[in-house]
């Protein structure tokens, strides 16, 4: 009798454990659809962020090119200014020698 009771208790424990595990492993279609929707939304946001980052990189590259052009123009203007200053000083020195 005790052996039969022991076997029944064991079978009950196994059945409860199996039931609990199978209940945890079951995914309802609504849950799967919700997860797929979240994944799709995350992928869409990632693509949008990637597109915005590319646009920002393009704008930064264009700004860098414009800055380099402005620096080149400023350097040319400074060289011209220095040449004019040197000419004026030479003219002033020549005037003072006379």
Count: domains in the chain: 1
Residue 1 has pLDDT above 60, yes or no: no
Confidence band (pLDDT; 50, 70, 90) for 13? Answer: low
5 assigned to some structural domain: no
Residue 15 has pLDDT above 70, yes or no: no
Structure tokens at 68: 């380099």
25 assigned to some structural domain: no
Alpha-carbon dihedral angle through residues 30, 34, 40, 43, given to the nearest 10 degrees: -150
3-state helix, strand, coil in the chain (%, to 5): 95, 0, 5
53 assigned to some structural domain: yes
Q: Average pLDDT for residues 2-23, to the nearest whole number?
A: 62
80 assigned to some structural domain: yes
Confidence band (pLDDT; 50, 70, 90) for 97? Answer: confident
Output the pLDDT for position 30.
Answer: 87
Residue 70 belongs to what domain range? 34-98
User: What are 54-57's contacts with CB under 8 Å, separation 24+?
Assistant: none
């Amino acid at each position: 009798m005790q052996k039969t009771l022991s076997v029944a208790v064991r079978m009950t424990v196994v059945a409860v454990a199996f039931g609990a595990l199978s209940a945890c492993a079951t995914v309802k279609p609504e849950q799967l659809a919700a997860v797929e929707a979240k994944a799709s939304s995350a992928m869409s946001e990632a693509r949008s962020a990637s597109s915005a980052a590319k646009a920002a990189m393009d704008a930064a590259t264009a700004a860098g090119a414009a800055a380099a052009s402005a620096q080149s123009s400023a350097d040319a203007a400074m060289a011209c200014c220095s040449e004019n200053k040197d000419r004026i000083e030479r003219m002033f020195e020549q005037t003072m020698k006379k």
